[in-house]
Amino acid sequence: MALHALSPAPISYTRTAAALHWLIALLIICGFALGWVMTDIPGFTPSKLKYFSWHKWIGVTVFALAIVRVLWRATHTPPRLQADMPALQRIGAHAVHALLYVLMLAIPVTGYLYTSASNIPVVYLGVVPLPRLIDPDPVLKAAFKTLHVILNDGLLSLVALHLLAVFKHQVLDRDDVLSRMLPFNR
């Protein structure tokens, strides 16, 4: 049972939940864009190395913030879904949100393991060296790279589905679902 199961549901998300949502979303967009750009740069250039470093820093930050977000969610009651929402939409909403949380954690982990298997150190923000979790291994390197790309493709699909649901609620249903997560609506 979640720690917040017995407390009453609020009308909107807390400021902390909203801040984490939008900050993580922004970082994921930046990380995804950097990943796309850096992998298209031919060769081994200083710009490519810089982009890879930034991409890793974003990944580590997303992972840390996602842990905070999961802990916050476990200890704070989120707003209830609308009572008149069809059961299939409720199931879909819960499934998409659960998968988004899983991917917010799994994608940085697979990227980190890919980097470790590639024998490349991660120095967070250019200052804090992070431990290598696995030994260099070309087979694991290829496997983690592939898994990292597949999970990112899955995240892109889920974010598109999430945005379509937001559009549906905001434009077609004209309900208040979006306003519950907007930071300036408090």
Per-domain residue ranges of the chain: 15-180
Q: Return the higher-pLDDT residue of 184 and 157.
A: 157
Whether pTM > 0.85 for this model: the answer is yes
Tokens 């069809």 label which residue?
86
Q: What is the mean pLDDT of residues 9-23?
A: 87
Per-residue H/E/C for 27-44:
HHHHHHHHHHHHHHCCCC
Confidence of residue 84 (pLDDT cuts 50, 70, 90): confident
pLDDT for position 183: 72
Q: Kindly tell me if the per-residue pLDDT of 41 is higher than 50.
A: yes
pLDDT value for 1: 40
Closest-CA residue to 140 (of 156, 119, 117) = 117
pLDDT in tens, 108-123: 999 999 999 999 999 9
